[in-house]
Amino acid sequence: MLQTGHNKSLAAAIELSLASPMFQELGPDARELLGVVAFFPQGVNENNLDWLFPTTSNRTDVIDKFCILSLTHRNDGFVTMLAPLRDHLSPKDPKSSSLLCAIKKCYFTWMSYPNKPNSRKARWITSEDVNIEHLLDIFTTIDPNSGDVWVACANFMEHLRHHKKRLTTLQPKIEGLPDNHNSKPECLFQLSSLVYSVGNFVESKRLMSHASNLWRERGYNNSVAQVLGRLSNINRLIGLPKEGIKQAKEASEIHERLGDTMAQARCLDNLALSLRDDNQLDAAEEAVFRAIAVLPKKGQEYRVCEFHETLGKIYRSKGEIEKAIHHFEVALGITSSFDWHDRLFWIHYKLVELSHN
């Protein structure tokens, strides 16, 4: 190094490695691939090299050579590098890196797939969440008018809610969007749902109310009803059942006008729970039977199970223990036939509670 005339600095040392015959033999794409590793805080997951770099035929060999040159190292399944190396090698203009943009598109596509709490395919987010959050943080800064970035942002929060419940550093950016931004209400809705999942119901209500107002201004009645249903549940949990009753009724009426019977049934169940908390037990009972009546007869067994549990809770509050036991046992029969372990536990728990009354 001293004989080259370069500054005695880390940057000079890095450039010497990049100028070495071993690195040069890796081909013209090696520098850009190294920049991608540098861009992500965790580096790149070795198990995902095939779909991250499909056009790089010698990707495994290239990664091995990076490690030999001490440009990268392996850590818990990721190929990563030290922070000073990342600072020097990360693309100064991420949008100019065609490889990074291709990987961004790949991540966004993965996050757009249908996501459910028990979906094993979506659990990849639990190891990649830091990288994706950084990717979104950068691209929502340098490309804030890109619709796909904010759609991916909403999808990311939904993935977190299902598979890795934690808050996100993206919240200030979402709230900072102009109210007329196309993606703001959906991002607020997903953010509120994520905040709800970690137990901050008051903050969740604030965010959900903002989303509701924005969708109401745009005339998106279906979205308004969906948010009102969530707000009804939140208000019940924070001890405001009367407010929850009002919202559940409005949501149910909107879904009924739109002909969405499944959503209407869910709102009626929310209404019943709020009425129960407000000690309007007869009205709560009537709301659940309405929910069961409007629900399709097939394919909605999980909802039917939930509704019978709600009836069990209502009858317990009314002191009608035999009726409460009957509806919990109906729910237990449905649950047992589908082997829903989480519901089985709670129904048995409720039955044990009733047996001590």
Which among 295, 313, 348 is the end of a domain?
Answer: 295
Q: CA-to-CA distance for 214 and 217, rounded, in angstroms?
A: 5
CA angle, 37 then 39 then 44, to 5°: 35
Q: CA-to-CA distance for 110 and 63, rounded, in angstroms?
A: 23
**CATH number for the domain that contains residue 356:** 1.25.40
Q: How high is the pLDDT of residue 11?
A: 80
Same domain? For 82 and 185 the reply is no
H helices within the chain, ranges in order? 10-19, 21-24, 30-39, 49-52, 59-68, 83-89, 98-112, 125-142, 147-163, 171-176, 184-197, 201-218, 221-237, 241-258, 261-277, 281-294, 301-318, 321-338, 341-355
Contact 191, 157 (CB under 8 A): yes
Same domain? For 21 and 106 the reply is no
Same domain? For 275 and 330 the reply is no
Same domain? For 250 and 230 the reply is yes
Same domain? For 207 and 225 the reply is no
Same domain? For 279 and 238 the reply is yes
Same domain? For 56 and 132 the reply is no
Same domain? For 54 and 105 the reply is no
Burial of 181 (0-12, 13-18, 19+ CB in 10 A): middle
Q: CA-to-CA distance for 122 and 202, rounded, in angstroms?
A: 29
Q: Could you tell me the pTM of the whole model?
A: 0.87
Q: How high is the pLDDT of residue 6?
A: 45
Could you give the C-alpha distances from 51 to 12, 46, 75, 172, in angstroms and in order? 33, 10, 20, 32
Same domain? For 53 and 77 the reply is yes
Low-confidence ranges of the chain (pLDDT < 70): 1-8, 114-122, 357
Which among 295, 320, 339 is the end of a domain?
Answer: 295
Same domain? For 115 and 213 the reply is yes
Which among 192, 219, 246 is the end of a domain?
Answer: 219
Residue with tokens 């395919």: 121
3-state SS assignment for residue 73: strand
Total tally of structural domains belonging to the chain: 4
Q: How high is the pLDDT of residue 121?
A: 65
Condensed to tens digits (0 to 9), the pLDDT of residues 21-69 reads: 999 998 888 999 999 999 999 999 998 898 888 888 888 999 999 999 9
Same domain? For 85 and 127 the reply is no
Same domain? For 228 and 291 the reply is yes
Q: By residue range, what is the domain housing residue 37?
A: 1-90
Q: How high is the pLDDT of residue 3?
A: 46
**CATH number for the domain that contains residue 277:** 1.25.40.10
Could you give the C-alpha distances from 105 to 126, 170, 181, in angstroms and in order? 19, 19, 22
